[in-house]
Amino acid sequence: MGRRCSVAGCNSTAGLHSIPVDLEIRCQWLHALGLEVRDFPPNVKAGVCNLHFTRDCFDNAVEVEMGFSKHLALKSDAVPNAATPAWTPSPQRCLVPKITREIGCQTESVTYITAGVQANVKPIRRSKATQARMANRSVSCDTVTLMEPFTECPEATSTPIKRKRCEVSTDDSSYHQVGSESTMNSTSISKDVFPHEVTKYIVYEDKLLELFKRCPVCTRSCVVSRTTIGTLLRVKQHCAHCHYARDWSSQPVVNNIPAGNLQLCAAVLFTGSSFCQISKFLDAFKIQGISEPCFHKHQAKLLIPTINWQWKIMQDDLIEKAIADGAVTLGGDMRADSPGHSAKYGSYTMMDLRANRVIDIQLVQSNEVGNSQRMEKEGFERSLSLLEQRGVVIQSLVTDRHTGVQKFMREQKKDIRHYFDPWHMGKGLGKKMDALSKGKGLQDVGLWRKSVVNHLFLVCNIINIWGGGSGQVELCSESHSKHPQP
């Protein structure tokens, strides 16, 4: 049989607080309860329930009333009272007492409304002499009832449901957590929500550690230690009184990789941001982040291979659709890492103009072909060769006026119609007019630059309409829809 309240007439077994071991405070407790010290030596485990303490005796009375805590934490200098209590907590509902007093009568009753339970406390007995004195008093027996509106507080949520772990092939050697399997795999509140889809919040450290100050079993102070691994916070809680222990992590861990660390690396890389700038932002905000070696390690081992894998899947799907559509019209151009003739890398992009989708990308380094001027031709040949090997039938091709590409198409690919993009033609025409306007007495030529370039696109659109949507001008006008119109 479990412990019960040591106060005479009280059989409560919930919310018991052990009598302090300290002799001075122990004597105060026993004297307030009307008990003898010799009947309760220090080795006797006796307790007093919450009903015999006032509201001021608890540290977290407000939290319990609002439903954010289930157990009351007793102050170190609190002393119980054997008389009828004036306040009693409720684990899930705010307590509103219904007090009924009979003035001039012999009894006083207090009724407490809790979460679905109504408890009536026994009335205080009075001596016969007191009853005789009150009987002689001419006081009417009026009943005063004080009833406040009932307020419902937030109820506790259910236990999180486990879901299947995400599979990651590479372990994170920077983190090895020792704990139970349930701690490692508790990822989200729903089995259908992945860690990267769960909403995150900014929580201050001192506010978070307040949740671990008190033991949830005996409500006493606990020993709390914390460990941080990047964005992950691990808290160990231990109670020296009831030996309660808990190992808590702020985020799920998959194959020894904290999910927050990996998602932060992915957010930086996928948005095209700079790790240095993001790191400065986190430092200014005092948010726990990751180190630069950790970022580069996850980028090289996990993120870039994932991007390549996803791109191959999308490219295969686009090529299959292009083959199903029959002959296609492609547009290609190169973008270098720096302007001029000093570029080291160049990426040549081939696009399906009718589907408006990029179908292939080729990366070329300048030392592979001798100089940066030859990178565009090399990327063009690689992309064209790949698509033809995959079975794509190329009807027309639109590029800029690169001399190497013109020669290759003229000599090697005579069966493919080759067109020039009017955007590049307009850009070249504008540069020539700018150079001409710098001559002596030719400043007025620069005033006509915009009108002449717009007129070029006007002619392309008119011929396209009159030509019935076929021929060279049609393909050129479709390649860039962002050009200025007259």
Which pTM value belongs to this model? 0.51
Separation CA 99–CA 84 (nearest Å): 12
Of the ranges 123-127, 186-190, 231-235, 445-449, the best mean pLDDT one: 231-235
Specify the higher pLDDT residue, 55 or 206: 206
Residue-level pLDDT at 477? 39
Mean pLDDT of the chain: 75
| Cβ proximity of 136 and 151 under 8 Å | no
Mean pLDDT computed over 146-169: 39
CA 456, distance to chain mean position in Å, is 51
332 sits in the region (left: phi over 0; alpha: psi -120 to 50; else beta) called beta
What are the pLDDT digits (tens) for 344-353? 999 999 999 9
Lowest-pLDDT choice from 2-11, 127-136, 471-480? 471-480
> Is residue 180's pLDDT more than 90?
no
> Would you place residue 81 in the very low, low, confident or very high pLDDT band (cuts 50, 70, 90)?
confident
Lowest-pLDDT choice from 58-67, 144-153, 372-381, 437-446? 144-153
Specify the higher pLDDT residue, 320 or 128: 320
Residue-level pLDDT at 22? 77
Residue-level pLDDT at 309? 94
Residue-level pLDDT at 193? 79
Specify the higher pLDDT residue, 157 or 64: 64
Residue-level pLDDT at 466? 62
Specify the higher pLDDT residue, 21 or 451: 451
Of the ranges 11-15, 118-122, 282-286, the best mean pLDDT one: 282-286
Lowest-pLDDT choice from 175-184, 296-305, 463-472? 175-184
> Is residue 223's pLDDT more than 60?
yes
Lowest-pLDDT choice from 148-157, 231-240, 464-473? 148-157
Mean pLDDT computed over 51-79: 78
Residue-level pLDDT at 312? 94
Residue-level pLDDT at 85? 54
Residue-level pLDDT at 160? 44
- pLDDT > 90: percent of the chain: 34
What are the pLDDT digits (tens) for 279-324? 999 999 999 999 999 999 999 999 999 999 999 999 999 999 999 9
Residue-level pLDDT at 236? 93
Residue-level pLDDT at 408? 93
